[in-house]
Structure 1
Amino acid sequence: MSVIRLTDARRTETPSAVMTTCASPTQGGTGLAVWRVEMPPARTGPRHAMDTEQVWTFLTGSAAVELAGEELHLGPGDTLVLPAAAPRRLRTDGGFTAVVASPAPSRAVNLDTGDRVAPPWIV
């Protein structure tokens, strides 16, 4: 059993959001990563795809998610299951906070640049 204190959580800032890792293989987990996403108002994330499924539960605010050519609108209490390999992009006008779970490790591909990365909040 592992306890990850908030003071020990890993915080990663990107141009579009702040991810706080609650658990991951390098922070007490074995095969599952859980993190909190805080996206400030008027932000848009990169167009990308993940090689694993992700489950997003929105706690506050709202987001629009472009998922494989469809636009979905989500708010507090909504949960979105994003399938592996599906092209996606998140944006928000007023900001949001969500908790996300995913098998770990996983890799992302930026669909505009082709860059592949292992997001640090998932490892």
Structure 2
Amino acid sequence: MPVIRHTERRRTETPNGVMTTLATPTQGGTAGLAVWHVEFAPGRRGPEHAFDTEQVWTIVAGAATVELPAGTLTVAAGDTLVLPADDLRQMTADPERGFTAIVAAPAGTRVYTPADEPCDLAPRGDERIVPLWAR
């Protein structure tokens, strides 16, 4: 059973948050899962984007508003959010507390943004990439 030491984690900073890879196949995981830790500072708003696989987000601290095609949700510490594949989403951290979450998805999940959405971290339109924290 592999142990992934804290010194082996990959930390990726974006303009809106910090994603820290906790376990992926490239770190010794064998279940085909990617697990990462997300931290958004108070009031930060991520870009509108989607992933090509389902993701499970458990909020461990703070709160967030999540805009989805079906409507807007508010989630707080202790809540788990199941995000369907290919649903556009945009997350905004609570203005006072921010939020912290643990996310699980199939390893190799690919992210993309609408063609007209400005984003430095994910491709636009039909191009899709595996983000660093899910590799």
Q: TM-score, normalised by structure 1?
A: 0.95
Q: Compute the RMSD of aligned alpha carbons.
A: 1.1
- Which whole-Å CA distance do the structure 2 matches of 1:65 and 1:119 have between them? 20
Q: Which amino acid aligns with 1:17?
A: G
Partner of 1:43: 44
3-state SS, counterpart of residue 52 of structure 1 = coil
The offset of 1:116, in angstroms, is: 2.5
Offset from partner CA, 1:57-89 (integer Å, 9 cap, x none):
000000000111410000000000000011101
Partner of 2:26: 26
The offset of 1:11, in angstroms, is: 0.5
Relative to its length, the structure with more strand (as a share) is: 1
Q: Percent same amino acid at aligned positions?
A: 57
- Which whole-Å CA distance do the structure 2 matches of 1:29 and 1:89 have between them? 29
Partner of 1:98: 101
Partner of 2:62: 61
Partner of 1:3: 3
Relative to its length, the structure with more helix (as a share) is: 2
- Which whole-Å CA distance do the structure 1 matches of 2:15 and 2:84 have between them? 24
- Which whole-Å CA distance do the structure 2 matches of 1:17 and 1:81 have between them? 20
* 1:88 and 2:89 matched: yes
- The answer for unaligned runs of 5 or more in structure 1 is none
Partner of 1:118: 130
Figure out how many residues of one structure are paired with residues of the other and give that number. Answer: 123
Q: Which amino acid aligns with 2:102?
A: V
Q: Which amino acid aligns with 2:107?
A: A
3-state SS, counterpart of residue 62 of structure 1 = strand
